[in-house]
Amino acid sequence: MKKINIGITDSKKFDDYSNWILSVYPEINIIRLSYQFDNAALVSTCDGIIMTGGEDVHPSNYGKPENLKVLDINQINEARDEFELELLKTLFQLKKPILGICRGLQITNVFLGGTLISDIPSVLLDTKHGKIAGKDQIHEVEIVQGSAMNRISGKPRGEINSAHHQSADQIGKGLMITAFTKTITNERIVEALEWEDPNDKSWLLLLQWHPERIASDTNYSIAIRTAFINEVKKDLS
C-alpha cells in the first residue's frame, strides 16, 4: 500500500499535531505546510490535511475590517492567512479529507464565505472559553443528532478543552453546525461544523476545540483521529 502523506499546516505547536498522529500511526509521513517554506504545491501530494490552530484570522478576510480595533495585531499573521486560503482552494478542488482544529475551523469557515465573532468575552460576555493562566478551560459540548460528529463520538455530549477567544458567526456556504455550547444568555457558540450535504464533497470535520492536546477520549480525541485516518485510507483503497 502507498505510504500515506498527511499535511499539517505550520503553527507554534506543530509538534502536538504531528505527535498526535505519529503516536498511533508511525508509518505515516507528515508534511509540514508553511508560508515560510513556500511549499503550497506539496498539498497535491497529501492524502489528507490537518488545518491547525494559532493566530487570529485577519478580519478583512471576512469583510469586517473594523473588528481589527478589538484584536491584538501581534496575534494576526496575514501571510499565513493568504497561504492557508490558497491551500483550501486546492484542497476543495482535489476533494482531500480535511480536519480543521480551532483556527482551522475559523479559516475554513471564512474561506466558504462565513464570518467570525471577533472576541467572545466582549461580544457574548462569556468567559468559559479561552485560556486562563495559560491553561485550556474545560466545558461541556452538545452534539447534534444525526451528524457525522454524532456518529464519530457515539455520545450526545461530552467535555472538551477550550483555548479560543473567537468563534464562527455567520456559517459558510454548505456548512452546518454539529456541536455547540451555550452562553449564560443562551446564545450558541459553534464548536463543530461539517457539510450539510456531504455528497460529492471532500470529507470535512471542523472543530473549535483541541483533540490533539488531550490523550483521553473525554473530548473524543481518539475517535476523531481514527475517523480522519480511516477516511484518508478509504480514499486510497
pLDDT in tens, 126-179: 556 555 555 666 778 899 999 999 999 888 888 777 766 778 999 999 999 999
107 neighbors 58 (Cβ within 8 angstroms)? no
109 neighbors 116 (Cβ within 8 angstroms)? yes
Grid coordinates given for 213: 492536546
Strand pairing category for 116-117 and 167-168? antiparallel
Cα 147 to Cα 207: distance, rounded to the nearest angstrom: 13
State the pTM of this model: 0.92
Helices 103-111 and 78-94 sit at what angle, rounded to 10 degrees?
70
CA 46 to mean position of chain CA atoms: 17
3-class state of residue 196 by DSSP: coil
pLDDT in tens, 176-222: 999 998 766 667 889 999 999 999 898 999 999 889 987 666 668 89
CA atoms within a 13 Å half-sphere pointing along the CA-CB vector of 220: 28
* 5-236 classified as CATH 3.40.50.970: no
pLDDT in tens, 69-122: 777 777 889 999 999 999 999 999 999 999 999 999 999 999 999 999 887 666
